[in-house]
Amino acid sequence: MAVPAQRYSDAGTARQLADPAFWQQPPGARLAAFAALRALDSPLYVPEGSGRGHWALVRHADVQEASRLPKVFASAPG
pTM: 0.68
Residue 8 contacts residue 54 (beta carbons within 8 Å)? no
74: helix, coil or strand?
coil
Provide, for the chain, the percentages of residues in helix, strand and coil under a 3-state DSSP scheme, each rounded to the nearest 5: 40, 10, 50
Tens digit of each residue's pLDDT (9 = 90 or more) over 13-52: 677 777 888 899 999 999 998 898 888 888 888 777 777 7
Strand ranges in 1-78 using DSSP code E only, listed in sequence order: 44-47, 53-56
Of 23, 17, 20, 2, give the one whose Cα is nearest residue 48: 17
